[in-house]
Chains A and B, each alone.
Chain A
Amino acid sequence: MPVLSVRNLRTEFALRETSVAAVENISFDLEAGECLGIVGESGCGKTTTGLSIMQLLPANGRVSGGQIILDGVDLAQLDDKQMRSFRGNQIALIPQDPLTSLNPIQKIGQQIGEGLRIHRGATKEQARKRAIEVLEMVSMPRPAERLDQYPFELSGGLRQRVMIAMALVCEPKVLIADEPTTALDVTIQAQILDILDRLRAELNMAMILITHDMGVIANRADRVAVMYAGEMIEASKTAGLFQEMRHPYTQSLLASVPVLSQANQKSGSRSRLMSIPGLPPTLTEQLIGCRFAPRCEYATSQCRSTSPDLTTTSDEHSYACFHPVSGPAPVEVVLSHHDATEMQAPTPFLRVENLVKEFPIRSNGVIRRKTGIINAVSDVSFEVGRGETFGLVGESGCGKTTVGRLIVGLEELTGGSVTFETGEQEPEGRAGEMYRSQQRQMMFQDPYSSLDPRQRVEDIVSEPLEIHQIGTKQDRQARVKQLLASVGLPPDAAARYPHEFSGGQRQRIGLARALALNPQLIVADEPVSALDVSIQAQVLNLMQDLQDELGLSYILISHDLAVVQHASDRIGVMYLGKLVEVGPADEVFRNPVHPYTRALIDAVPVPVVDGSVQMHKPLEGEIPSAANPPSGCRFRTRCAFADDICVEVQPEVNFYGDGHTAACHHPLRSPVLNAKK
């Protein structure tokens, strides 16, 4: 008998005059110890589903239909007071952002113990004891010390452990984890997901894992439900969903995720990501027929007029579609100009040598004495070829963004140089700024805050031209039209304001702005990390097209290894301000040399169900402070191979193949002596 059984759940939000059904037709059963993954893009209603079950909807939301049966009790029928005795007791929530979800001014021990005090009437002592117990269960280092710390004293990964411990304190039967690892780095994500898996088995808990990341659920969830525009459109056992999906949306969604591949990709070829055209519908509009129909390539007039019901086939696979597909879409391999022959000699044209950036740490108070330095970037050298994409990966705080900002001149160099192969000496001062901005432009991470909300798109895109006093007003307007067309925006976009556009469209505006001066190099800092996968694919494909057309070079900075592998020709891996490995993209991923690169690749959850859960041990610990980096090799504190030499000597850069370098005392294979640079 299932622990939790949801039937035809419907949740409405009251708006000014009407109400909108944010979630409809959700049905599933959850057995003890089972993990159900709910996936979908932002706005699809997956979080609302979780909050509906917890009855924690915002003030204007309510469950307006269906049943939520937990152990024979219909939670939808309970009033708030009755529901309270279930929350945190029988059913618990792990929210997405562990920083904002913890009370900033209450000690951790108190916050963890609170549930026990509420539901079991525990004394302070009992609550503290239990708090230590649950912190041990989530493998928190030095649990007893943590009780008297405040949330801001912990890193993101440790805070998420606190959130999990808090949820476990009363041993709930059902745990709802809403994007539990989205705010975390991949190596930390792997640690947290492993902890959740282990606890689920140990405590025989049922778990709902809500995520946008197909990779996270692929080898962890028993069953998966896919949501689109507030509805459950397909549900199945995990393997069935990944290998024999029936709904075209599921098919497109999986096809638009770049997959980190270690073996099966031919060197030099680039597959094109499938992207879903258009945007999900707005729920406030009246929706007739299948909600995916406007974006679906198989849609017929039936789809546009009638809403398909969820039909269940054998093997507990259900889907809502009139024209089901039968498995994954074939991968379309496009050989762009990046074929193997041309890859041989990429003419290097940007040379980054011994780049160093230090930020002073200043004491509080009036005088603000300099008390130390943060080594944000320490001795980084690499080259970028003409028409090449150089990917820069690493976890947050590794200095990759700073490198990007140094290259375009947004930060001043502490040491080293950035030069173009043209051999021209860069002018000093203001002239240098103008010179740099004409050659190198930046595409920013956040499509929301990086565009001035009070400027029209036209002004945003033409501003670089104005600053450089290029052309007349008419010329500039013509150029803006041309740029907007080249990034796939309609001409009437010019007169509108940024807030009228979706995230993906804004990123296109940002790209158009970066292209305005015809730069040779664009530094793209996490250009797609704020976007949903289907939109992400649109932007990545666009960037690739423009590169082929204009011969641009990119430096692609991202924490997402799959994105970087998909889009880059060569890759640099950074750790704590150091470039630890550089090489051809496929080569680095297939045959990494540095133990950190290996660990990073292993930590990435791959959206392929291969029957075996990845059994790599996740990298332990966290990235040390850049204010006080470890001596010798900076990775040694987390490295399995570290010994005395790693403590004492900084590793030198060695060659491991043509254009493949790494800095490690204990590389995963031996150096190649006669390799070409």
Chain B
Amino acid sequence: MYIVIVGCGRYGSLLADRLSCLGHSVVIIDRQKNAFKALSAEFSGFTITGDASELSVLHMAKIDAADCLLSMCNEDTLNLMVTQTAKFIFGVPKVIARVYKPSYESIFRKFGIEIISPIQLALEAFLQDLDLDRGPENEAQ
């Protein structure tokens, strides 16, 4: 698969590394050139320094040929703009956004954007691990 990743922070860089090692062709975009230092030596994809909310940067990443776009920034508005552009203007088949602030979750859903919310996932995992996800009755048993 040809995958475009926006944001080379903690999530973006790990994801890019993993997908690249699995043999996918990966292009990763970040505003800061320094951000790419987080990528491992095994990363064999391309890096683009630029603002993904600019069309010219998305064109540089060959967005119209992408099978998948993952927007992993720590700014919900940027993720919202990039994913909507990818999905509704360039028709990228698979588009997923990372949700940073939980208050934006319903907005992503309303705009038809698939999301992954690290905070929600962590929350669920904590609750499950504590076996407290079924309320106080469970605790009493």
- The finding on whether chains A and B are genuine partners in a shared complex, rather than unrelated, reads no
Contact surface of A with B, Cβ cutoff 8 Å: none
Q: Which residues of B contact A (CB under 8 A)?
A: none
